[in-house]
Amino acid sequence: MSKELILQKIKAYSRIMLFRHVRIDGDCVGATKGLKEIIKATWPEKEVYLIDDEHSDYLAFLGPDDEPVDNAFYEDALGIVIDVGSADRISNKRYMLCKELIKIDHHIEREPYGDICWVEEERSSACEMIADFYHTFQDQLVLTSRAATYIYTGMVTDSGRFQYEGVTGETLRLAALMLDHGVDTERLYAHLYLRDFHTLKFKAYIYETMHITENGVAYVAISREMQNRFGLTFEEACASIGYLDGIRDCLCWLAFIESSETQTIRVRLRSRFVAINTLAEKYRGGGHACASGATIYNEEEMRALLADADALVKEYKETHEGWL
């Protein structure tokens, strides 16, 4: 129902502004760029803007966003926010100026916002929802190979290459639909997964220095000094969360990354079997059951969060069977 309403609104407006979350990732970038490309290919006369201060070296291959425009541009526009659970995480705050606002999201919903909401928490990515939107109205919409590439990028990155829990037969069917429209997967995977030499040295260092709590929480803490020593960007340091998955008996893994810009510590939380989003919410965060983010301010909070995570895993192991 809300999908039908969203299509009607897109048809009705001549100007559309797209928004996504802070700390951009492949999903929010792919979904916003993908929907923009679909709208432009279908209705070339419409103005569609994607404006965001944030830049990611890792995702630079997907191309730049639009240049900033005056506030007046927002005022008679339809705003579409994709992949953002709560309004405080929308990166471009001028979403507030839009005449009407649509929310399309797959996070666990804490605070509804917007005039029309299409939220499906069980979807593996927001890009999967954009692929589904195209699929539902494919007789009325145009999907270029560029749009398919954007959308496929987010489907791949948010699902750990179709590995995580939210992936269903429907996910793979929609991914196949994107591939049918011409995605150069060899080039895409090279962009996403090739690593520089210094990053691999850093990975080796992470394996040398990671810790495991008594009940099976693996973690690393990456200081600013360490980021400087290895010549890492903050984004590269944050990617370290991915190095900790796949440890037997460790049902939860955490990376604490010190940010020089905001004087905070970014926490990335991942798990299998056990849900960690409530833990993230306790520390100014949120997200999905098995992939969440949070923000803390000092080592004392880091110790408290680790103790909470350890207790959570302990309780899970005591009350469940069959985990690995």
* Interacting residues with ligand AMP (CB under 6 A): 21, 23, 25, 85, 89, 107, 268, 285-288, 291-294
User: Looking at the chain, how many residues does it have?
Assistant: 324
What SS3 state is found at 134? helix
Smaller CB separation from ligand AMP, 15 or 107 = 107
Sign of the dihedral defined by the CA atoms of residues 12, 17, 22, 23, in that order: positive
**Least Å from the CB of residue 320 to ligand AMP:** 23
**b/e burial code for range 279-290 (CB count within 10 A of at least 16 → b):** bbeebebbbbbb
Task: Compute the distance between CA of residue 13 and CA of residue 48 in angstroms, rounded to an integer.
Answer: 10
Smaller CB separation from ligand AMP, 7 or 242 = 242
**Least Å from the CB of residue 319 to ligand AMP:** 25
Task: Compute the distance between CA of residue 169 and CA of residue 289 in angstroms, rounded to an integer.
Answer: 20
* Alpha carbon separation from 248 to 149, 217, 307 (Å, rounded): 34, 11, 20
Q: Which H or E run includes 7?
A: helix 2-12
Smaller CB separation from ligand AMP, 114 or 286 = 286
**Least Å from the CB of residue 286 to ligand AMP:** 3
Smaller CB separation from ligand AMP, 100 or 242 = 242
Structure tokens at 258: 């010190």
Q: Nearest 5°: phi and psi at 218?
A: -90, 140
Smaller CB separation from ligand AMP, 47 or 235 = 235
Smaller CB separation from ligand AMP, 220 or 294 = 294
* Alpha carbon separation from 253 to 55, 266, 270, 303 (Å, rounded): 27, 14, 5, 14
**Least Å from the CB of residue 78 to ligand AMP:** 23
Closest CA to 104 of 201, 9, 235: 9
**Least Å from the CB of residue 27 to ligand AMP:** 7
Task: Compute the distance between CA of residue 30 and CA of residue 154 in angstroms, rounded to an integer.
Answer: 5
Smaller CB separation from ligand AMP, 154 or 286 = 286
**Least Å from the CB of residue 81 to ligand AMP:** 12
**Least Å from the CB of residue 25 to ligand AMP:** 6
